[in-house]
Structure 1
Amino acid sequence: MSLRELLQTDMKQAMKDRENGKLRLAVLRMVWAAIRNKEIDEKTNLDDSAVLAVIMKEVKQREDTIKEIKDANRLDLVEKNQQEIDVLKKYLPKQLSDDELKKIVEDAIARTGAKSMKDMGKVMGTVMAQTKGQATGQRVNAMVKALLG
């Protein structure tokens, strides 16, 4: 079952769950709208990797929103955004541990021949292509900086 089909099936189930699935339904509808908008913009049906990228973008937006909310001392809104992230994370692949990520970054540094921070772009590109959805750009960036710096 593709990621698109899984989202549609879960959205239907959330509709059937009524009160219990309200938040989940709202989040899934929002993600589905983002997917459809991207499909309309690109005039194509998205494959699983593109759908995954949309979901990751939605998670990142909510994480950024949580940071801004905390800065504005609106802690009442943090829980709602965190619940939305929890719904979305069900559709993301298992995140890599720090040790696994470190090994991938070390391999990328060896393959690209990176010696300094000037080569960070090459390493980042290699690692991000390899980890697709299993590690955030922020985590990869921090690991590359630690190993190159």
Structure 2
Amino acid sequence: MSLLERLNQDMKQAMRAKDKETLSVIRMVKASLQNEAIKLGKDELAEQEELTVLSRELKQRKDSLHEFKEAGRDDLVLKLEDELKILQVYMPKQLSEEEVESIVVETIQEVSATSKKDMGKVMGALMPKVKGKADGALVNQLVQKHLS
């Protein structure tokens, strides 16, 4: 089942259950997916492109969450935390830190990286492998740790 089909199904359930929060998040994600498809000039997005859009939505909310926490906006923090929980349902299972670290070490060996100068080369080869399955900040941190 594609992500769009799953979203449509969950949207119907949310409507029946009168779950406004879930319904709102699903509608925002669907709109983002449709906008991306229009931008790319396609009728339907590939799974990887859908994952990119979902990751972008998650990142935007995480960034906003950080800003709202700093500003002391607890009302908005709670709302965003709920939205993040709903979005996480549609993301692939996240890799553990150990799994990410093993992929990082493997990729460093593949590209024969030896110093921090090779960071771009490593990240370029690594990110497609962990896209949507690991936090980019964690990946970056682990790469720096192994290249120093």
TM-score over 0.5 (shorter chain): yes
Partner SS, residue 76 of structure 1: helix
* 1:123 corresponds to: 122
Instruction: Report the identity percentage.
Output: 46
The 4+ residue runs of structure 1 with deviation greater than 6 A are none
Partner SS, residue 5 of structure 1: helix
Mapped pair 1:5 → 2:5: yes
Alignment of 1:36-75 (within 5 A): 36-44=34-42, 45-75=44-74
What is the CA-CA distance between 1:132 and the residue it aligns to? Answer: 2.1
- The aligned length equals 147
What is the CA-CA distance between 1:134 and the residue it aligns to? Answer: 0.6
* 1:34 corresponds to: 32
> Does the 8 Å contact 1:7/1:28 carry over to 2?
yes
Unaligned runs of 5+ in 2: none
Alignment of 1:104-143 (within 5 A): 104-143=103-142
Mapped pair 1:91 → 2:67: no
Q: Which amino acid aligns with 2:14?
A: A
CA distance in 2, matches of 1:12, 1:51: 20
Deviations 1:51-104 (A, max 9, x none): 111111111000000110111111221110010000000010111111111100
What is the CA-CA distance between 1:9 and the residue it aligns to? Answer: 0.9
Q: Which amino acid aligns with 2:76?
A: L
Alignment of 1:16-35 (within 5 A): 16-18=16-18, 21-35=19-33
Between 80-89 and 118-127, the greater mean CA deviation after superposition: 118-127
What is the CA-CA distance between 1:122 and the residue it aligns to? Answer: 1.1
What is the CA-CA distance between 1:47 and the residue it aligns to? Answer: 1.5
Mapped pair 1:102 → 2:101: yes
Unaligned runs of 5+ in 1: none
**What TM-score do you get using the length of structure 1 for normalisation?**
0.95
Between 111-120 and 42-51, the greater mean CA deviation after superposition: 42-51
